[in-house]
Amino acid sequence: MGRVSLPDKYTTNMSEQLRRPRRNRRTAAIRAMAQETQLSVEHLVQPLFLMPGAGVSLEVASLPGTFRLSLDHLLQEIESCMNLGLRSFIMFPAVPEEHKDKTATYSYDPGNFYLQAARAIKQRFPECCLISDVAMDPYSVDGHDGLVQYGQIDNEATLPILARMGVAQAEADFDMLGPSDMMDGRVAALRRALDAAGYYNTGILSYTAKYASAFYGPFRDALDSAPRDEAGIPKDKKTYQMNPANRREALIEAELDTLEGADMLMVKPALHYLDVIAGIKQHTSLPVAAYHVSGECAMLLAACRNGWLDYEKAMPETLLSIRRAGADVILTYFAKDFAERNHM
């Protein structure tokens, strides 16, 4: 077809159109050269759920494609990820009820299956980066990240428990500790305890801005770690996790964690808090991480399984948006899927 001629009143003097952004979109090669944000497997961390025993592989019903695994299956999963170039993992324990108590003593028990698993993983895959979870809730009969006393979360009484837990995890050869509890002063408590024990090189990936979000449901299903609905126990985590309405408060948390010795700062959730990620990125020289949480992933999976979205396109676009907001590191249940689709 020839060009369509329009009346002069609908045209502009094209000689004046000096800037044409579409020129940088014209071909795939040009678009690649002009791309502002790069997303690769090196930016991703795969969450793993560990269970005791052997031969265990249980799918999380509310997060299809994610499994609770015993160590034998977990080692196979890590090997599969490593073969795809995915080298970073954060591991969470599904602790049986018989190991739980008020003060989370099993968290630093030498026989803890979580600590034993970390040693086995690092012995077999010394080149991987293994990140821990530091909080009381997997080990607490109350299901809270801190110590429950007289119907409240006792911040100061929690810190020594977290410090002892952190040292035990460093001894187990975790590369980085992930304090997810949101107690005031916990980064400093961990850093002092680690240094006193000689673990100067163990890093701290702080959950700097962890919000009291509605999007943690599948994660709590996987670990059975929701707060107990019993008399004298707080029914939610709003007294220590951040108010979803607050953005500036995240900068206060970031400043404190930096001063207390954090090595990386994290925002959780990610997709619904892109503005917070961007804000912290602008105010820190530390690497910024973002946790693309279970509920955010479950929503996308549900839409794709219903045929409303195309997973092959929507999943990487979602991760790219988190990266574009300023995340240097993204913790996501889609990490392995992304790696598979980008493996050469």
Q: What is the pLDDT of residue 151?
A: 87
Residue 10 maps to a domain = no
pLDDT at 217: 85
Q: Could you tell me if residue 17 is inside a domain?
A: no
What pLDDT, on a 0 to 100 scale, did the predictor assign at position 220? Answer: 81
CATH of the domain at 243: 3.20.20.70
In a domain, 19, yes or no: no
pLDDT computed for residue 15 by the predictor: 59
Q: Encoding tokens for residue 286?
A: 């530390």
Residue 20 in any domain: the answer is no
Residue with tokens 């494609």: 65
Confidence at residue 13, expressed as pLDDT on a 0 to 100 scale: 61
Q: Give the C-alpha separation, 52 to 62, whole Å.
A: 21
**Amino acid at residue number 149:** Q
Tell me which residues are annotated as active site: 210, 268
Please give the Cα distance from 132 to 199 (Å, whole number): 15
Global pTM reads 0.92
pLDDT of residue 7: 64
Nearest Cα residue to 64 out of 273, 304, 341: 304
The pLDDT assigned to 231 comes to: 61
Return d(Cα 47, Cα 77) in angstroms, integer.
11
The answer to the question of residue 330 being in a domain is yes
Contact 166, 124 (CB under 8 A): no
**Residue 191 CB contacts under 8 Å (≥ 6 apart), including other chains:** 204, 260, 261
Structural domain tally of the chain?
Answer: 1
Per-residue confidence (pLDDT) for residue 6, from 0 to 100: 63
Across 50-80, b (16+ Cβ under 10 Å) vs e yields bbbeeebeeebebbeebbbbbbebbbebbee
Amino acid at residue number 318: T
The Cα 212–Cα 216 span in angstroms is 9
Give the mean pLDDT per block of 10 residues along the chain (344 residues). Answer: 61 72 92 92 97 95 94 98 97 95 95 97 97 95 91 94 98 97 97 98 97 90 73 83 97 98 97 98 97 96 96 97 98 97 80
Tell me, yes or no, whether 26 lies in a domain: no
Domain of residue 226 covers 39-342
> Is 94 within a domain?
yes
- 286 assigned to some structural domain: yes
